Amino acid sequence: MLFVLIFLFINFQFISTICPNGSFLYQSNCYIFNSTEVGYEEAELTCKNYGGHLASIHNAFENSALHSASQNYTGTSFWIGARRYPYEAIPWEWTDRTSWDFTDWGPYGYINSPVNDCAHMYVTAGDWDASTKYDTLPFVCKVHADRFSL
C-alpha cells in the first residue's frame, strides 16, 4: 500500500511539472492563460509560438475545466480558438482544425453580425459569445503536453 502511494505521488509530481509554470494539464494538453489583452490574430500567433493554438473545446468537461481555471485570472472574458469567416459563408471552426463538435453559446446565442467573427469565453458563467477580432482580450492557448516533456 505504501508503495502504491509513493508511486502515485511521484507520478503526480512528474505530470504536474510537464506544463509551464502558471498553466494546467487536462487530457494531455497544457492550457496556458495569458493576461495580456491583444486582438484575436495576435493571440493565435502567440499560441503558435508555443507550438499550439488558441484553445479548442470539445465537450462540457473541457469547457468546465477552462472555466474553473479562468477564475484565477483577471478580466471578464478571454479568447478561445473559435472563428468564422462570415463574408465567405464559412461556418464556425477551430484554429487547430479539429472537429467543431461542441458549443456553449450564452443563453441568447451569439449576435450573428458579419463583424462578430471570433469567440471568447466569459469568466463568470463559462459560456461563449462572439465579437470582432479587433477587440483586445486575454487568451488561453492549448498546447499538447509532449511539447514540454523532457
Give the tens place of pLDDT for each residue, 97-111: 999 999 999 887 777
- Of the ranges 4-8, 64-68, 113-117, which one carries the lowest mean pLDDT score? 4-8
Give the tens place of pLDDT for each residue, 13-40: 444 458 998 899 999 999 999 999 999 9
**pLDDT confidence of 89, banded at 50, 70, 90?**
confident
Number of domains in the chain: 1
Half-sphere exposure of 80 (CA within 13 A, CB side): 27
pTM as predicted = 0.84
User: 26 burial class (0-12, 13-18, 19+ CB within 10 angstroms)?
Assistant: middle
Residue range of the domain that includes 89: 2-147
pLDDT above 50 for 123: yes
